[in-house]
Amino acid sequence: MAQAHAGMASHGTQFFAYDQWAGKGQRGRTWTSTPGQNIILSTVLQPVNLPIIQSFALSTAVALACADLFGAYGGEETRIKWPNDLYWRDRKAGGILIENSYKGGLWTWAIAGTGININQTAFPETARNPVSLRQITGRIFDVKELAKELGQYLDGRYEQLMDGGAAALLQEYNTRLFRRGQPVRLKKDNAVFETVISGVGPTGLLLTRDTLDRTFRFGEVEWII
């Protein structure tokens, strides 16, 4: 973000890190990675032609690009867990964090941070049921080359979004949605309850159904898995 504001990074610039010591995750969590083993990539996007109301549409494009890459090697069991986690079966393969910058009513910058487990096989005890491509396939990958490949998927998905493809992206996001149509346990405040995932709406609301049709904003509920 600092590079973008300083005029030293333009739309499409990508920063690949071999080592990261202050990785950020969703809900204030940290993201840890063994040096040189995984994709740790920040992509500079300049969505000035997108209305701010379409911020979740950009999230779907980035999430689908990550799923495209991981699914190409990990197979069809690759899923997107609302709002922006990458899963394989019931195990976490990666995470996405998009940080935005606005000026007045203009969406000036979006920095899409992606962390995807590639070659790592030993994880901290605090990690939530992690998995890597190496564990799935038995192969060792060139993480820098995979990061470049991810950049190509990001280009394609971003172009799809800019060509008016927000609805199609959301439909595909829902097709790949983790636990869609299945009962899950969620926690809101101090209450844990069971509900069925119906999908995700255009603004990023999680849609569920039990005795009632419910909607939840990001940060309003926590998964209990």
Strand partners, 94: 86, 116
Position 88 pLDDT exceeds 80:
yes
**Distant-in-sequence, close-in-space partners of 121: CB < 8 Å, separation ≥ 6:** 132, 134, 135
**H or E element at residue 76:** none
Q: Please check whether residue 81 is in contact with residue 70, taking contact to mean a CB–CB distance below 8 angstroms.
A: no
Q: Please check whether residue 48 is in contact with residue 106, taking contact to mean a CB–CB distance below 8 angstroms.
A: yes
Instruction: Quote the mean pLDDT of the chain.
Output: 93
Domain range summary for the chain, segments of one domain joined by +: 2-175, 183-224
Tens of pLDDT along 111-145?
Answer: 999 999 999 999 988 888 999 999 999 999 999 99
Position 32 pLDDT exceeds 80:
no
191 to 182, 194, 223, 224: CA distances (angstroms):
20, 10, 12, 11
Alpha-carbon gap, residue 46 to 12, rounded angstroms? 8
- Which amino acid is present at 50? L
The label of the residue with tokens 């049921």 reads 129
| Among the ranges given (3-17, 23-37, 38-52, 103-117), the one the predictor scored with the smallest mean pLDDT | 23-37
| Neighbour tally for 165: CB within 10 Å | 18
Alpha-carbon gap, residue 32 to 39, rounded angstroms? 11
Alpha-carbon gap, residue 176 to 64, rounded angstroms? 9
Nearest to 133 by CA among 15, 38, 29, 34: 38
Residue 151 is classified by DSSP as H
pTM across the whole model: 0.94
Tens of pLDDT along 2-26?
Answer: 999 999 999 999 999 999 877 666 5
- On the 0-12 / 13-18 / 19+ scale of CB atoms within 10 A, 84 is buried
CATH no. of 2-175: 3.30.930.10
Alpha-carbon gap, residue 100 to 107, rounded angstroms? 8
Nearest to 170 by CA among 127, 209, 200: 200
The 3-state DSSP class for residue 48 equals coil
Phi-psi region of 193 (alpha: psi -120 to 50; beta: other; left: phi over 0): beta
**Distant-in-sequence, close-in-space partners of 62: CB < 8 Å, separation ≥ 6:** 43, 84, 96, 98, 112, 114, 154, 157
